[in-house]
Structure 1
Amino acid sequence: MTNYEIHGALGSPYSMKIRAAFRAKRLHHTWRLCAPMGPNSPTKHVKIPVIPVVKYPDGSWINDSTPLLLDLEKRGEGRSIVPSDPLLRFACYLIEDMADEWLVKAMFHYRWYYEEDKKIVPSWLLYDACLGLDKATIDAMGQQFAARQIGRMPKVGCTPETAPLIEASTNRMLQILEEAVLSKQHFLFGDMASMADAAIFGQLYQLKGDPTPSAMLRKNFPFVFRWLDHIDDASGFEGEWIENLTPVVIQLLKLAGDTYLPFLAANATAIDKGQATFTADLPEGFFTQDIFKYHKKCLERLRKEWSELSPEHRETLSEHLLGGTEVLDCALVQPTS
């Protein structure tokens, strides 16, 4: 039987995203807990040493979650987790990307901002990565890892100044999802889990486990808290994709249009101008962080997908993306000679 190997960690949002996606696709695979560093780490097989790393049946390796899943879709591997309708497919891609690159800030913020989480979570993460070590070693290595991650917080925009903005934006998304999971349509794009569901799950799974956000989810968003278990293994869900934009998807598109796309655009503009940092004017306030080149690639991919939509589909989506439409329409502007 054809078998894929997923080398990842429970504390890695993209590892959990990939595992959930493989399960939703009903694709035969083996899940292997791994340490992201060290001479025996599977990251030695890829250019950028981050997890998850997936080994294909032909022996090749890949570790960028979105291109990986799109490659599996292109190959026709397993059940599709992307709607076939072009308009819905673009919406799925955009929400998936927003989860990967914006919602991740919630994971990073909650994990390394609050004292209880900074005390407990590092040892959990190192326990997963270094099975067999004694508690004292795990605790010591965990605190070393925590210090490194906390030191990176300003680089990814997780600072005391942006903390209220991140929590407000996360709360907005969770309110949308709490309504969604109680609707007849169980997942975002129908009766089956999509790429977007898997990406959201990857990030929120971390909040579900870490002390402070876990308590917040249990108290304020109890059905999202439980719904995450449904996405963790959605292999048994059957049904159809939605045929039109639903209120839930529309609300997520509005969030992408007023928050995520302006964030991507501000980053891209700063890179083009040779600046080291950027500030995005978002509904919850001003958000500042260092430039990130990968985010520019994300915007370029979204612009390419947008340019390939029909004018009618772009017009329909524009009603909900609002200001974000201008960010995407840059792909349609021909450069002057």
Structure 2
Amino acid sequence: MASKKDYRVPLRSQDLNVYILDISYFSGKLEAYLKYKGIDFKRIELQWDDWATTIAEKTGLMQVPVIHDTVADVWLRDTTPIIELFEADEGLSKIATGVLPDCPVQRFVSRLLEDFADEWMWRPALYYRWGFKTDRDLYARRFCVDFLTNAYKGLVPEFIAKDSIIRRQVNDYIYMDGIRDEATKANTEQLYLDVLDILQMHFEKHQYVLGSQPTMADFGIFASMFRHFSLDPTPAKIMRQRGPAVYEWVARMWNVKNQGPGSPRVSAPDGDIPDTLYPLFDIISDQYLPYLNANAVAFKNNKTKFDFTVGDACYKFNVVPYRVWCREKLQDHFNDMSSDDQNAVRIFLEKRNCFKELFSDGIIRSNKDHNGADPPFCREKNYNLMEKVKMYTGGTPWHESQESLPNSFFMVCTVVCLILGLIFFGLGMLLELTD
């Protein structure tokens, strides 16, 4: 298995196969990064049978995006470790602008903003897609056409397939993510509006998050703003009316050209960031970092659920081991700095009320083995059919739900849909024979 020390990013044309879903949150993030770095790759849109065979077996997971380096025969997953790996590559750094600033404060902030955007904006992004009829009907249809065509092969009527998809997505990404009443719905909607308003004011003055070139923070924020908020009907309408500068930034990110080797240019002086972003750190310090801490403490205490309050909304969240790891990595990035750099970062974070929240309750290790491989690397694993069905209905072991009953219920629903599909198929054949 390759390691971070000996892996080299292939720079020849289309040595990388990138498996994506065109509607995927993180697929858009990775595509934008690779495009910006000038890496020529082969774009492969997955069908269910690819996911259930090649991807599951080669990576041990059923998630996208993943990269297959066809030269080294290495598989890579998880966008943040992939970007970190590529940024450390000497060959790539000689031809492409980096996305991590030289200034330790701006470098750490770039990572913190990326993590916040990846994990905390996930809930409103999925809520808007599956919580509103216009949006969920559209994406259930796209899911059938783009992803499940080869799986059903005409055996299951589309209306049954769409209903199964909607039930699964609403359960996994709304109900199971704590959105269970009007207060949590309103709070989730307000999170999108607040972040959109902050970014609107920021992008009226700045081209990118930290300055005149993209950083890691841009690609993290881009994940939700591109494939979800700027494209899904309900949040896209809000963005066009309330955040046109954000809408413009999304297009700019998709088209930005790399300027050659060097570090990204940041508009603020060393040790600081644009002050238009300060309100975003109020959300990070009041909501996201306390959430990461509560999730980690619950994990440490062997709990599967915990209550978390934001304003008037009380969420009942599942413990997510992956986010324990996210918090751990942020703490490790800080602890790996020199004492002078740590002091500079600490001064900035304390001004923004983030330092205490990040290190509250100390370092809690996730002890996550990532299927026996250190991200972004993967280890092969064989799954039987029922394991694959469980992964489809309840999530992969990477982000799997903590509640077994709803997952079992939706496994049964999937099997019932297949049986009904066979019945409809048989009736159709019988009618043809009797005509």
Contact kept, 8 Å, 1:43 with 1:53, in 2: the verdict is no
Count of residue correspondences: 331
| Corresponding residue for residue 200 of structure 1 | 221
Residues in 1 aligned to 2:216 and 2:256: alpha-carbon distance in whole angstroms: 12
Q: Are 1:82 and 1:92, in contact at CA under 8 Å, matched by a contact in 2?
A: yes
Distance 1:80 1:16 in 2: 19
Q: Structure 1 residues 20, 36: closer, same or farther in 2, change over 3 A?
A: farther
Structure 2 CA distance for partners of 1:333 and 1:118, relative to 1, 3 Å: closer
Match of 1:31 in 2: 43
Q: Deviations over 1:147-180 (max 9, x none)?
A: 2111212222233341111111111111111112
Query: Partner letter of residue 151 of structure 1?
Result: N
Task: Please point out which of 94, 98, 122 is paired with 1:104.
Answer: 122
- Match of 2:42, SS state, is strand
C-alpha change, 1:332 and 1:146, in structure 2 (3 Å) is closer
Q: Secondary structure at the match of 1:55?
A: strand
Q: Secondary structure at the match of 2:67?
A: strand
Compute the TM-score of the two structures, normalised by the length of structure 1. 0.89
- Tell me if the contact between 1:24 and 1:234 (Cα under 8 Å) persists in the aligned partners: yes
How far apart, in 2, do the equivalents of 1:36 and 1:234 lie? 32
Q: 1:131–1:197: structure 2 CA closer, same or farther, 3 Å change rule?
A: farther
Does residue 11 of structure 1 match 2:41? Answer: no
Checking the alignment, whether the CA contact within 8 Å between 1:266 and 1:280 is kept in structure 2 is yes
Q: How does 1:89-168 map to 2 (within 5 A)?
A: 89-130=107-148, 140-152=160-172, 153-160=174-181, 161-168=183-190
1:84-124: CA deviation from partner (whole Å, max 9, x where unpaired): 21110110101100111010111111111112222221112
Matched, 1:86 2:104: yes
Structure 2: unaligned runs, 5 residues or longer: 1-11, 365-435
Larger RCO, structure (CA 8 Å, separation 6 or more) = 2
CA separation of 1:233/1:45 partners in 2, compared to 1, >3 Å: closer, same or farther?
farther
| TM-score of the aligned structures, taking structure 2 as reference length | 0.70
- Report which stretch shifted further, 302-311 or 164-173: 302-311
Whole-Å Cα distance in 2 between the matches of residues 36 and 24 of structure 1?
Answer: 29
Partner of 1:299: 327
Could you say which structure has the larger radius of gyration? 2
Q: 1:325 aligned to 355, 358, 371, which one?
A: 355
Aligned to 2:80: 66
Gaps of 5+ in 1: none
- Deviation larger for 294-303 or 114-123: 114-123
* In the alignment, structure 1 residue 260 sits paired with structure 2 residue 317: no
**Which segment is superposed worse, 239-248 or 100-109?**
239-248
Q: Is the contact made by 1:217 and 1:225 (CA closer than 8 Å) also made in structure 2?
A: yes
Alpha-carbon distance in 2 for matches of 1:137, 1:53: 30
Identify the range of structure 1 (220-229 vs 306-315) with the bigger mean alpha-carbon deviation: 306-315
The root-mean-square deviation of aligned C-alpha atoms, in Å, is 2.5
> Is 2:340 the partner of 1:312?
no
- AA aligned to 1:316 is F
**Contact 2:293–2:360 (Cα < 8 Å) also in 1:** no
Q: Displacement, 1:248?
A: 2.7
Report the identity percentage: 21
